[in-house]
Structure 1
Amino acid sequence: MRLSEMNGKEIIDLKKGERMGVLGQADLEIDENTGHIKAFLIPTMKWFGFKKNGTEVRIPWRNIKKIGSDMIIIDFNDEF
């Protein structure tokens, strides 16, 4: 799958059943040596276009359970 095909997919937390964001709003952490995706970096909730507290949630690639046609299902643990 190409990165361009992942753009716009909703990211859904499997355990909580809640939407975490849209991949177009997220950044990717990529291993410079291998080119493999290490993690998704999802900005925290925004308030009128400004970041609320300036942090982001890091979702390691191993927590990605399924990439479908419309969404990405993750198994996100609160320990990250």
Structure 2
Amino acid sequence: MFKASELARRDFINIVDGRRLGPVVDLHIDEKGSVTALVVRKGRRYFGLFRWGRDLIIPWQQVKKIGVDAVLVEMMPQE
């Protein structure tokens, strides 16, 4: 069991290509209270204010391992 705030402090790494995906900024939760997806901030900020790029939604089924320092996910690279 873990807190949602703990996820925000962990690195999210794609095991397919080894890339760091970014920080979690939101969770999708169903009516039963189960997490169905993670929303990862994808994009850059300009002077900490303006952000461009899309957020990445990671379905919970693609989360393979939650470790102490990192979360491993399996996502195929987008063309």
TM-score band, normalised by shorter chain: 0.7 to 0.9
Cα distance per residue 1:19-52 (max 9 Å; x no partner): 01123xx211111x11000101112211323221
- Structure 2 unpaired stretches of 5+: none
Name the counterpart of 1:71: 70
Name the counterpart of 1:18: 19
Structure 1 counterpart of 2:60, which letter? W
Number of residue equivalences: 75
Runs ≥4 residues deviating over 6 A? none
Distance in structure 1 (CA, Å) of the matches to 2:19 and 2:5: 24
- Structure 1 unpaired stretches of 5+: none
RMSD of the alignment, in Å? 1.6
- Of all paired residues, the percent bearing the same amino acid is 31
Distance in structure 1 (CA, Å) of the matches to 2:4 and 2:27: 10
Deviates more, 1:65-74 or 1:40-49: 40-49
Distance in structure 1 (CA, Å) of the matches to 2:64 and 2:33: 20
Cα distance per residue 1:54-74 (max 9 Å; x no partner): x21110000000000000000
**Which TM-score applies when normalising by structure 2?**
0.81
2:61 is aligned with 1:62: yes
